[in-house]
Structure 1
Amino acid sequence: MLELFRKYRTPLGAGFLVLTALLIYSANLRQRGRTTLFEKTVLQITSPLFKGVDAVSESLVGGWNRYLWLMDTEQENVRLQSENRRLAAELNNVEEIRLANERLRRLLEFRDSVDLPALPAQVIAVDASSWFRTVVIDKGNTDGVREGMPVVAAEGVVGRIIRSAPRESRVLLLTDASSAVASLVQRNRTRGVVRGQGDILTLDFALRQKDIEVGDRIVTSGTGGVFPKGLVIGEVTRAAREQYGLFQTVTVAPVVDFARLEEVLVLLKENP
């Protein structure tokens, strides 16, 4: 402290003298009716000093007030951002619930239209390899699921059970290359076999002379012992007759969006 006083003793002394003069001036001002030459001189000298002090004081007060306002604003922004994230999460959850309810509603409506008893199941895993097209569902032997049972969605055919464990099962999707379903062209009852080709399907063994057009709906024929009759498989996207041969080349787009498959129904029936 003493060292600080020694370092700034000159400005401190000058400030002390100015303050003393101001005090004397204030005391004399109350007792005199007229301003003396000395008082005029003091006013002239100290006026810029007071203006500077006032400007610095106002600047400091204004800066402090702005600092406090910015601190309050920052805290409010943090609170609002946190509230916004919470509300966004709640809104997302509500939307997920709405979409799930919509899917389940369609699934239940479809179940009511099927004569066989049906078991709802959730897709819990998807085969990531390019060799097989399968998914895993959360129902198994303890729920009555057996190998060979058909699996459907509200839109149509999904596939069939190929492996069944106590609490989960693996479903071979309709688009897998080893999948084959006896089928009909709904419009004119032309028979064929739908086979998986990755993302698309083909209708094999459709006779060349049969009338098949783009947009025709393909349904299960009920033969083959797996799928009941009349389940929707897909729609024809291409039908071509070669110059020679017995059969047409028919491409079918599946009605089920396998990339977005979440809930399915297992049609419970005894294996043949």
Structure 2
Amino acid sequence: MRDFLKRHQITLLITLLILVVVFIYSVNLRSKTKITLFERVVLALTEPLQRGIDQAGTEISAFWNNYIWLVDTRQQNVAVMQANRDLRAGLVAVNEVKLENKRLKKLLDFVEADPRIVLPALVVAEDASSWSRTIVIDKGTDQGVHAGAPIVVAEGVVGRVIKAADNSSRVLLVTDASSSIAALVQRTRTRGVARGNGLNLTLEYALRDDQVEKDDLIVTSGMGGVFPKGLIIGRVTAVQYNDYDLFQQINFTPVVDFTRLEEVLVLMDTTP
């Protein structure tokens, strides 16, 4: 094939030039209103070539326009997706602010209804292992927090400070196994000691003759000098005793959801 082209390159070149001239001539003839017989023959011979070129041009133009449209559409889609992500992020932020405002309003209502001096604090860490139930707050001795200070929220008792640093404190939750609080049943005034067992609590040393019922509230008794009187600790879930026991066994759950604890209050003045 290469040898053939070398041998006939002049002939092929001349033929190509003739075809180009004829094609150009036929294009010019299309704009004329009157043509001769020779010109008609030229038009008839070049018609298939002209039609093919026109069709190819149309297809190329359509492809290019579609390509430009697709590129523009893709850019618009990217812009819309980014705007959608921004709106979602903004919505999440707004919802977070609304939830925070709702929690803070509860704390504010508690502060306004209670004459004690309180210090708001944020929960910055937690330890919920099988051995310990503690959290860390962002207030410490520099803000007047000391070991033994009660920690509460609007719903009820959270725990007490067991270690205070300059700008942070570790709080022992009421559900910790080493936690004990002087408490009583609000309805019957039955006294006992609320002890944590990891997830829930029990009220120990409650006399068997007192009629404690499910859903009774357990509140702080004010004894012991740590927690002021009347703060809610939890709600009774089960009561057990037998005829030979001096005390009844009372199980109850805390009113505070420690898995969603974010803001707390430190009671700076525990005087009832």
Query: For this structure pair, what is the TM-score category when the shorter chain's length is used for normalisation?
Result: 0.7 to 0.9
Specify the SS of the correspondent of 2:207. Answer: coil
Looking at structure 1, the residues matched to 83 and 10 of structure 2 have their Cα atoms a distance apart, in angstroms, of 56
TM-score by length of 1: 0.87
Greater Cα shift, 135-144 or 75-84: 75-84
Gaps of 5+ in 1: none
- Which residues of 2 match residues 36-55 of structure 1 at below 5 A? 36=37, 38-55=38-55
- Which residues of 2 match residues 199-238 of structure 1 at below 5 A? 199-238=199-238
Tell me if the contact between 2:227 and 2:270 (Cα under 8 Å) persists in the aligned partners. no
Looking at structure 2, the residues matched to 70 and 146 of structure 1 have their Cα atoms a distance apart, in angstroms, of 67
Specify the SS of the correspondent of 2:175. Answer: coil
Specify the SS of the correspondent of 1:154. Answer: coil
TM-score by length of 2: 0.87
Match of 1:21 in 2: 22
User: Could you tell me the percent identity over the aligned residues?
Assistant: 50
Letter in 1 for 2:124: I
What is the CA deviation profile of residues 196-236 of structure 1, one whole-angstrom value per residue up to 9, with x for unaligned ones?
A: 11111111122222212221111111111111111111111
Specify the SS of the correspondent of 2:206. Answer: coil
What is the CA deviation profile of residues 161-218 of structure 1, one whole-angstrom value per residue up to 9, with x for unaligned ones?
A: 1001121111000110000111111111111211111111111122222212221111
Greater Cα shift, 225-234 or 111-120: 111-120
Q: CA deviation at 1:84?
A: 2.0
Match of 2:79 in 1: 79
Distance 1:13 1:250, change over 3 A: farther
Looking at structure 2, the residues matched to 85 and 7 of structure 1 have their Cα atoms a distance apart, in angstroms, of 66
Letter in 1 for 2:132: F
What is the CA deviation profile of residues 38-60 of structure 1, one whole-angstrom value per residue up to 9, with x for unaligned ones?
A: 54544444333222222211111
Q: CA deviation at 1:24?
A: 3.8
Letter in 2 for 1:96: E
Match of 2:260 in 1: 260
Match of 2:164 in 1: 164
Specify the SS of the correspondent of 1:264. Answer: strand
Letter in 2 for 1:252: F
What is the CA deviation profile of residues 81-100 of structure 1, one whole-angstrom value per residue up to 9, with x for unaligned ones?
A: 22222222222222222211
Greater Cα shift, 119-128 or 85-94: 85-94
Tell me if the contact between 2:29 and 2:43 (Cα under 8 Å) persists in the aligned partners. no
Match of 1:190 in 2: 190
Greater Cα shift, 46-55 or 114-123: 46-55
Gaps of 5+ in 2: 1-5
Q: CA deviation at 1:15?
A: 5.0
Match of 2:3 in 1: none
Greater Cα shift, 65-74 or 76-85: 76-85
